[in-house]
Amino acid sequence: MNDIIRRRVLVTQQVLAGERPCCHPAVAFYVSQHILVSDDTLRFSEQRAPQVAVFVSKWSLTPSHSYYEVELTDTGKKSRISLGLGHTGYALDCKPGIMAGSVAYHLNDGRLFEGSMKGVPFGPKGKTGDRIGCGVRFDQRKTDAGGRVVPVFFTVNGREIGSVLVPLKLENFHPLLGMASEGETVTFMEHTDWKDVTHMAVDSYEEDWGRLHDVQLTGQTLEYVGRGKSIMDIGLAQAKQPLNTRSHYFEIQISDPGDNCYIAIGLTCRNYPKHRHPGWDRGSIAYHADDGKIFVGRGIGEVFGPKCHKGDVMGCGILFPRDFRFNVDSPSDDELSDREEIDFIEDFNPEVGNFYDEALEEEEEEEEEGAVKVHVPAGVKVQVFFTRNGTIVGRRDIGLPKGGFYPTIGMLSSFEKVIVDLHPMTG
């Protein structure tokens, strides 16, 4: 430990003298002259107002030490901290994730950058006190058309927020940290145990799901693990609870389209067949990413909206009638009959993330907090709508099946992966 501190002191002295650290074996890392290093603490110093300053560890992630974390002691004036993985020759004045061979999570906007100037929505923005982690799952390496790949994942406060497949090259697995505004300070923790963090994430989200068939759940991420050889090899994830007036919308983000992007988002009845894509059988409706078609209870789709690709966010929700009420702890699902005219809730604003309706607000005030068993009346017509990147794609009128409509995701080709948010907004 004393030797490590000595090495860091050596680098700090070089930084204070305005020198660029050399590639000497005794130095534990490379760092921009605008980052001051003291023991495990890194602080941005805006002496010459650079665009960005980068820290590169000479220690690479390996199967035995596959994860690291930083704690955001101070996010500074603009909170422009980023972290990820790259090679030791990474430019000390270029944000992590921009150069080829690097991947990084930017905390100012919550985007993921993978060797590109263009990032994709990925996770929450960072704030003071957060612990942000990055790791490699060497035990889950795979082979695709481009060679061997492994998942690189990121965590926020002990929960995994998502992952991305990157080429298996140890020289590109050195921790990177970027800073770009005065006052930013972090604590760098090299050898944190990521396995415990992963178990925490899995345990916290498994309760949301009623059925998982040929899909693997890690935190909020669903990954297809089926054969992907025929239309019978569907991977299906169905939520434990149906949509209702208090939780009437959910979203997925395509983090990896896999071989063919055979990903579908929609609603199904409780006992929907596990080997059928959402929308293909009665009691279901779904928007399919690969062709942009909508499927409503049959295997033939209709032209509906644009195709969806990596990074796109697909949403699905229900517009209930204004006077719609669920029967709580009712023995029957048939107490509410059909209506000839339905006055639907029309107000949806993706930008503020909220459905607004006075009747629903009054209903929520009357309902008590806590878990209750909700019985959804059958035979009532509702409007199911779908969104793409916050914009409504279209709607369809459909009757509620007995027990209600359950959020469902379908997958069918290798390497497909989505990040799910079952509760992005409440009524």
- In the chain, the domains with their CATH numbers are 2-199 (2.60.120.920), 208-421 (2.60.120.920)
Helix (H) or strand (E) holding 201: helix 194-206
The first and second tokens of residue 144, run together, are: 């695709």
Query: What pLDDT does 251 receive?
Result: 96
Query: What pLDDT does 135 receive?
Result: 92
CA distance 354 to 356: 6
Helix (H, G, I), strand (E, B) or coil at 174: strand
Please give the C-alpha separations between residue 289 and each of 239, 274, 299, 302, in angstroms, as whole numbers: 20, 19, 15, 13
**φ, ψ of residue 414 in degrees (nearest 5):** -55, 145
Query: What pLDDT does 307 receive?
Result: 96
Neighbouring-strand partners of residue 163: 153
Query: What pLDDT does 260 receive?
Result: 94
| Cα–chain center distance at 67 | 19
- Contact yes or no for 165/151 (Cβ under 8 A): yes
Query: What pLDDT does 267 receive?
Result: 98
SS3 for 405-416 is CEEEEEECCCCE
Strands across the sheet with 406-411, in order?
A: 209-213, 235-239, 406-411, 264-268, 284-288, 293-296, 302-303
**φ, ψ of residue 238 in degrees (nearest 5):** -120, 130
Query: What pLDDT does 301 receive?
Result: 95
Per-residue pLDDT of the chain (427 residues; tens, 9 = 90+): 333 333 333 343 343 333 344 333 334 778 787 888 888 889 888 765 567 899 999 889 988 889 999 999 998 888 899 999 999 999 998 999 999 999 999 999 999 999 999 988 888 889 999 999 999 988 888 776 667 889 999 999 888 888 888 998 878 899 999 998 888 999 998 767 765 444 444 445 788 999 999 999 988 899 999 988 899 999 999 999 999 888 899 999 999 999 999 999 999 999 999 999 999 999 999 999 999 999 999 999 999 999 999 999 999 999 988 777 654 333 333 333 333 333 333 333 333 333 323 323 333 333 334 434 445 555 688 999 999 998 999 999 999 998 899 999 999 999 999 999 998 864 3
Query: What pLDDT does 6 receive?
Result: 33
